Amino acid sequence: TEETEGAKGEKGGRRNSPALRNVFRSMLSGVHRPEELDFIFDGLTHHLASAASRSRTSSVSEKPDLFCEQLLILTWHLLTLNGHFLRHVCSRRGADALLRPLIALLLDASFFIHRRPTPQTHDARPLAETRDTLSPSTNGGSLLANDGAESPSSSSPAEAATALSRIGLLHMCSFILLVLSSERDFAVRLNEPFLGKAPADIPVFQGSYADLLCLAVHRVVMDATGPRGSSDSLVDMLLTVLCNVSAYVKSFCLESCLRLMAMMERLTRRYWLFSAPQHYHDVFFLLDVFNNLIQYQFE
């Protein structure tokens, strides 16, 4: 009986003990000093920019960049766990330092998954050299003449692992953009003029960071809805990002307007609308974008 009572006491003690918690997550959510937030933000943007430059010069057969994956996961946890960090980034530091590497990684991952040369072409050139020979089309069509579906048997295990890694990068960048777009200050700062060289996958334009975001979303959505498309959830996330920021955008350049109409034309095609029961939601997202651009003129 004593052993039974002792066992019951141990079980009761375990049941009444406080729940285990992740100390690192608790410490991460408690950072609030401006100098500490600046230190973390500067380190994240520096390493993200380095990861984006490495991704542009990497070849198809290279191993996935595990450091870049962990860095994006850390960025997402910081933005979702620490409200002070999210508000500090969106209101005080601006959008350009974090938006540029995120869009670069997003476009690189989309190119690797959807538009990279198939193994039958035996093209061993770096991705940057291959992409420089491609010119984005106005109607959002495929940039490769041979854009057929790649057979799983033709890829090696290393290439399959790299493809899965790039899919993770694609979704993590979309998650981070979705969190940032929910903040009003981030959307307002997108009206700042864009200065510098645009990524290789989007056309040359003169506009704001909102145009950069719109052109990047167009490129990925066109890839995801093409013959080698990856997932419908990716399209939903990126269109939601556009919906969130559209109410605060003052203007779009000509290139962005053409791409918005191209997305509407692609997403309203019969083969896309009837391929899944939830695809009509994508049309609603774009209609909300057009409605916000016309109805709300932010000043």
How would you write the pLDDT of the chain (299 residues) with one tens digit per residue? 545 555 544 444 444 445 557 888 888 888 889 899 999 999 999 998 888 887 666 554 455 567 888 899 999 999 999 889 999 888 887 767 889 999 999 998 888 887 676 555 444 444 444 443 333 333 344 333 333 334 333 456 666 666 777 888 888 999 999 999 999 999 999 999 998 888 888 888 999 999 999 999 999 999 888 776 667 888 999 999 999 999 999 989 999 999 999 999 999 998 888 888 888 899 999 999 999 998 876 55
Q: Which two tokens stand for residue 9?
A: 């006491």
Note the Cα 12 to chain centre separation in Å. 47
Cβ atoms 244, 199 nearer than 8 A: no
Determine the residue type at 274. Answer: F
Determine the residue type at 43. Answer: G
Q: Exposure pattern of 135-172 as b/e (b: 16+ CB <10 Å)? A: ebeeebebbbeebeebeeeebeeebeebbebbbbbbbb
- What's the pTM value of the predicted model, to 2 decimals? 0.77
Model pLDDT, residue 167: 84
Place of tokens 């996958």: 201
Start-to-end Cα distance in the chain: 77
What are the backbone dihedrals phi and psi of residue 208, each rounded to the nearest 5 degrees, phi first?
-115, 180
Q: Which of 286, 201, 280, 272 is nearest to 241 (CA)?
A: 286
Residues 6+ apart with CB under 8 A from 94: 189, 192
Q: Which of 125, 144, 128 is nearest to 136 (CA)?
A: 144
Distance CA 73, CA 176 (A): 9
Distance CA 187, CA 248 (A): 6
Place of tokens 């860095």: 71
Q: Where are the alpha helices (DSSP H) in the chain?
A: 2-16, 23-29, 34-57, 66-81, 83-88, 96-110, 127-132, 157-181, 184-189, 209-224, 232-246, 254-267, 270-273, 280-295
Determine the residue type at 16. Answer: N
